[in-house]
Amino acid sequence: MNVNKKFLAMAVLCTIASVGFVLPASAEETMTHDLDEVIVEADRDALPGGLVRTTAKLGILGDKSVLDIPYSEMSMTQKTLALFDDPSQPLANVLQNNPSIRSSTSSPMYTDFSMRGINMNGNHMMLNGIPSLFYQFTTPPSHIIDRIDITSGPNAGVNGVSMSNNGTNSGATPAPGTINIVTKKATAKPITSYTQTFSGRGNAGEYIDIGRRFGKNGEWGLRVNAEYMDGGLSLPGAEKNEKNLFFNLDHKGEKSTTNLFAGYFDLRVNGGQRWFQFKPTTAYKGDSLPGAPDSKKNYDFSGTTKYVHGYLMTLNHEQKMNEDWSWFANFGQSRRSGNKDNQGSALKFDENGNFTGNQFNQQNESGKNVYAQIGIAGKVMTGAVKHNLALAVDRSWAKYWNNSKSYDPNGGTILGNLYDGIIFPDNYQLENFGSAKPQWEETNVGITIADTLEYGKASLLLAASRKHENFENLTGGKSFTNNNTLPTYGITYKPVDNLAFYAGHTESFSRGAVVKNDDKYTNKNATLDPVKSKQTEIGIKYANAGILTTFSYFDIDEANRYDIDAPGNKLTTVDDGKNRYKGLELTVNGKLASKWTATGGLMYLNAKRENTKEGLKDGMFVTGAAKWSGVLGLEYTPDKNWGIVGRAVWNDKAFIEDTGSKGKYEIPSYVTFDLGVHYKTKINTVPVKFSAMCYNLTDKDYWMGRGGSSTFGLSMPRTFMFSAQFDL
């Protein structure tokens, strides 16, 4: 992107932000606008325009106003999903409406994205407040989601203990925030909805959504959601097949609320390999990656697949003991099994685009996660200070099985070229190398205490989790215990009701990472030590005239853990100091005018390494992390039946390091555009909503950086999506 385009993007976003600061409105008007018909039906807590909520979850302290939470918080609604989601694409496609998040992949074979420059995936998502029910290949399917609470800030000490898994081998990375998915519940109005979707080159989906309340005063509610999807993606030769069935049963009594969510899932993605790694020859003197190839190019052999099936459930209960005190309990469990057959995690190519040193990879894997929490919460007064207290004890347990093998298929070599396509040896055969074997087991037990002290116009959040971790590497024969305290504290000052100044800090520990059980690693099955991570944020939040604006400064560090080249075309996983992420973030959401709604923002990120071995890489860039990025989504509704939707996503240039030659190579900047339309009508007496969306409107080919990694993704081609929703 040239300088003029940068200034244009910044000017547009800053102009939007200024609207929220200039237009007059009283504090009373700010958060209580009369909402139009669509918003009322979707979410009464939503800002005007209906894309973002005014409340979100503050860990064990429950739902709070976004203005009272001392870190960046954005709660996306069902409407945001309805406007921007394509179920055949990763959920990160919607998450990147938050400026702190950038998708690291366009393929549904992965779920990776970055938050404030740090790589994350499905492992970092919570479901109804329960952690670690998903992993790198899976995220919650969008059709079960009621809202998404995105915390890009210091909140580790208010959520209880959890795993910090990252990747199929569950290497540990403390997350820069959390993403909590809240599932759909039955509403007062009966729901019977049938939706059909069509996208890509033949991917068709069918969705059933049924909700009813029953019993005295509708105290019981049942919501059932089901999906069947099958067919080709916009990438020729790739396809996604997904089947699932979920139900949500809830009860609302005079003194208690209970919610049970459970279901079965079956997901397969055939093809869609999109990870690459640049391995130039010693003669290469360039400073940039070779140009991105045609994104319609397929790099899969005929048997490339990734498959997982299993079940999951969550149970949440809250019981009032009196007007001020209640106790709560949360439980969750997931079990999954699957396999993967592909040409390694990332295809390596040289400066001419020739593939080099690539091997075939097969994995059988399985995982089980169980979580339980019980606690109390209440309010007390000490003089003029009001305390909002919570105390919880929880236990998180996980076990992982894997059997992995990398090899040259049929004794041959994977050849071909980035621009011409991949060539596999003739008559290659998949090996039957056995079922998954136990790899590691981890148990975390902890106690969390939190207090929000309110006095006048100020509130102080004090929280801490005492965590006892027991980790056992079942293949390397090494185990360890790790006892630590994770503090979180923050302060919010509101001179008026619609303006908040805040600051927050937290600390967290990664658990010891396990190097992959793979012969290509010289230290396979090794266990790396836990590393402490710190995070600080200060900012301002302003709600005015239907617009909520947040501006923040953040400072995060994390372990610098990566693979280096070793003799014999092998790899070694190493720890080398820390990555430090400092930045500024602007988020804007709400209604600009009677017919215009906006969501988006801008982020500046200065990510560098420190405390590296002998200081050799201190001050160097963090691989894959762009300095500037932004997003702007707009909806224009000329009348109550029509809507036009547009979105621009911008990533500035980033850099990667060739760990073999220490070269610095640029990942060029890119801008993508999405454009769509939706229309509500009736067929006879049946309300119908038709939607059409085009993703990557200009069919741009581009590389996608991955925070903290020397690997990078390739874009998917232009994708059309059509849907029809029938409310029966």
Q: Answer yes or no: are the C-beta atoms of 226 and 207 closer than 8 Å.
A: yes
Burial of residue 382 (number of CB atoms within 10 Å: 0-12, 13-18, 19+): exposed
In CATH, 3-727 is 2.60.40.10? no
* pTM score: 0.89
Task: Report the sign of the C-alpha dihedral through residues 722, 189, 46, 628, in that order.
Answer: negative
Q: Could you tell me which residues come within 8 angstroms of residue 349 by beta carbon, excluding any fewer than 6 positions away?
A: 276, 277, 278, 279, 290, 355, 356, 417, 418
Distance, in Å, from the CA atom of 154 to the CA atom of 176, rounded to the nearest integer, reads 7
Q: How far apart are alpha carbons 423 and 68 in whole angstroms?
A: 57
DSSP letters, 68-128, are GSSS-EEEEEHHHHHHH--TTS-THHHHTTSTTEEES-SSTT---EEETTEEE-GGGEEET
Tokens of 676: 């769509």
Q: What is the pLDDT of residue 517?
A: 67
Cα–Cα distances (Å) from 60 to 399, 406, 623, in that order, read: 26, 44, 35
Task: Identify the pLDDT of residue 659.
Answer: 60
How far apart are alpha carbons 44 and 26 in whole angstroms? 20
Write down the pLDDT at residue 513: 66
| Residue keyed to tokens 């779920």 | 111
For the chain, give every domain's residue range.
3-727
Q: State the burial class of residue 32 (Cβ atoms within 10 Å of its Cβ: 0-12, 13-18, 19+).
A: exposed
- Asked if residues 306 and 109 have their Cβ atoms less than 8 Å apart, the reply is yes
What is the mean pLDDT, run by run of 10 residues, along the chain of 728 residues? Answer: 42 39 37 39 78 92 92 95 94 95 90 90 90 89 96 82 48 69 97 97 97 96 98 96 98 97 97 91 89 94 92 98 96 96 87 90 93 96 96 94 84 86 81 85 92 96 90 81 86 97 87 69 76 89 95 90 74 80 96 96 94 82 94 97 97 84 85 98 97 97 91 95 97
The DSSP call for residue 1 is -
pLDDT at 209: 98
Q: Report the alpha-carbon angle 131-133-138, nearest 5.
A: 125
Please give the helix or strand (H or E) that residue 682 lies within, else none. Answer: strand 670-683
Token reading at 641: 């039946």
Q: How far apart are the first and last CA of the chain?
A: 48
H or E stretch covering 606: strand 596-610
Q: What per-residue string of b and e applies to 422-449 under the rule 16 or more CB within 10 Å gives b?
A: bebbeebeeeeeeebeebbbbbbebbbb
Q: CB of 56 within 8 A of CB of 541?
A: no
Helix (H) or strand (E) holding 565: strand 547-566
Which 8-state DSSP code applies to residue 39? H
Beta pairing partners, 71: none
Return the pLDDT at 38. 38
